[in-house]
Amino acid sequence: MSKLVPAIRSGDVLMPALGFGTWQLENGTAVPLVEKALAVGYRHIDTAQIYGNERDVGAGIRNSGVKRDEIFLTTKVWIDKFHDGDLQRSAEKSLEKLGVDHVDLLLLHWPKPEAPLAETLKALNEVQSRGLTRAIGLSNFPSALLEEAAKLSEAPIANDQVEYHPYLSIKTLKAKADALGVSITAWSPLAQGKVAQDPVLVEIGRAHGKTPGQVTLRWIIQQGIIAIPRTKNPARIEENFDILDFALSDDEMTRIHALARPDGRLGDWLDKAYAWDAE
C-alpha cells in the first residue's frame, strides 16, 4: 500500500491530509518537535498567532533543511485582529515571526460578531491578493456561517478547521463543506489523548497491529478529512505518521462513527451569538 500522504483538494490548493499540530508547544519546545516531524515525513504544520510559537515553528522549519515550498504551513488570525487594517498588520507580523514570505493557509481562528464578517473577509482577501498567503479559510465556523462566509468572500474559502474525533459528529458541516468545495481539518483529532483508552478503538487496532491513536487518525483521513495531531513525544510523532499502510473496513468505519455522543465536544468556546450544528 502507498506510503504517500493523500492530498486533499481545498479551494484552489492541495493540503496534505496529515499535519503536525503545535498548540501548547511553548517556550521553545516547538523547535525540535517541528524539526522531528519534518524529518519523519510530515509536510504540513499548523500554528496560530495565539499559540505564541510562530517564531519557534519557523526555526524548526529552517533547522529541518526541508525546502519551504515542500511544506504546507498554516497560521490563524486571532479574534482581536478582525478589523480592516488590524488583520493585514497581524498577517505581516506572523510572516515576520515565522521568517517566511508567505504562508499556505491563513484562517480566522474563531467566528466573532464584533467585526462584520464582510469587513474581515475583505481584509483576508486583500492579504491573499498581496501574496502573503496562498489560500484563506476559517476555523470553528458552523455550516450556516461557513455558507455566509463563502458567499461574502471573493476568493474561495479553502478550509474550515473544527474539532473532530470519534466522540463528535460533524455530518451537517461536512455535507455543506463538500457542496462548497471546502476541505475540513480536524483539530483535537485524538480527543486530546482520550482515544487511547477506548475499548472499541483498542479492539480494532489489535486486528491491524495499530494503536487506538493510529486507528483514529486513519478513520479521519479515510473520510477525506485532514488530521493535525499534536504530541511532545518524539516516538508518538512517528506513531501518528505511521497510518498509511493499512485501511479500515466499512464495518470498522461505522463502528467508530457510532462512538459519537451528545456531550463529546471538548472545546466549546463558540461566541454565544452563534450555534453549533446539531450533528
Ligand X SMILES: NC(=O)c1ccc[n+]([C@@H]2O[C@H](COP(=O)([O-])OP(=O)(O)OC[C@H]3O[C@@H](n4cnc5c(N)ncnc54)[C@H](OP(=O)(O)O)[C@@H]3O)[C@@H](O)[C@H]2O)c1
Is the CA virtual torsion 129, 135, 141, 144 positive or negative?
A: positive
240 binds ligand X (CB under 6 A): yes
Q: Which of 196, 200, 202, 260 binds ligand X (CB under 6 A)?
A: 196
Total Cβ atoms within 10 A of residue 120: 25
DSSP SS3 for 116: coil
> Smaller CB distance to ligand X: residue 109 or 218?
109
The span from the CA of 177 to the CA of 148, in Å, is 12
Which of 5, 13, 43, 46 binds ligand X (CB under 6 A)? It is 46
Q: Residue of minimal CB distance from ligand X? A: 21
Considering only 93, 151, 232, 261, the residue that binds ligand X (CB under 6 A) is 232
* CB of 153 or CB of 185, closer to ligand X: 185
What is the DSSP secondary structure assignment for residue 5, as one 8-state letter? P
Q: Which of 187, 223, 243, 244 binds ligand X (CB under 6 A)?
A: 187
Give the footprint of ligand X on residues 56-95 (CB under 6 A). Answer: none
d(CA 195, CA 138): 26
As measured in angstroms, the least distance from the Cβ of 19 to ligand X is 8
Nearer to ligand X, 46 or 252 (CB): 46
**Residue 89: exposed, middle, or buried by beta-carbon count in 10 A (0-12, 13-18, 19+)?**
exposed
Work out whether strand 13-16 and strand 7-10 pair parallel, antiparallel, or are unpaired.
Answer: antiparallel
- Known catalytic membership, residue 167: no
Q: Tell whether residue 102 is a contact of ligand X (CB under 6 A).
A: no
Exactly one of 10, 133, 139, 169 binds ligand X (CB under 6 A); which one? Answer: 139
In whole angstroms, give the CA distance from residue 134 to residue 102. 7
CB of 76 to ligand X, least distance (A): 6
In 3D, which of 190, 196, 79 has the Cα closest to residue 140? 79
The one catalytic residue in 42, 51, 164, 167 is 51
Under 8 Å between Cβ of 273 and 113 = yes
Q: Indicate the residue among 114 and 154 with the shorter CB distance to ligand X.
A: 114
β-partners of residue 44 are 72
Q: Which of 131, 86, 75 is nearest to 108 (CA)?
A: 75
Residue 229 is classified by DSSP as: -
Of 140, 143, 153, 159, the one binding ligand X by CB under 6 A: 140
Stretch that binds ligand X, among 86-94, 147-155, 166-174, 191-199 (CB under 6 A): 191-199
Q: Which residues bind ligand X (CB under 6 A)?
A: 21-23, 46, 109, 139-140, 161, 187-193, 196, 211, 213, 228-233, 236, 239-240, 267
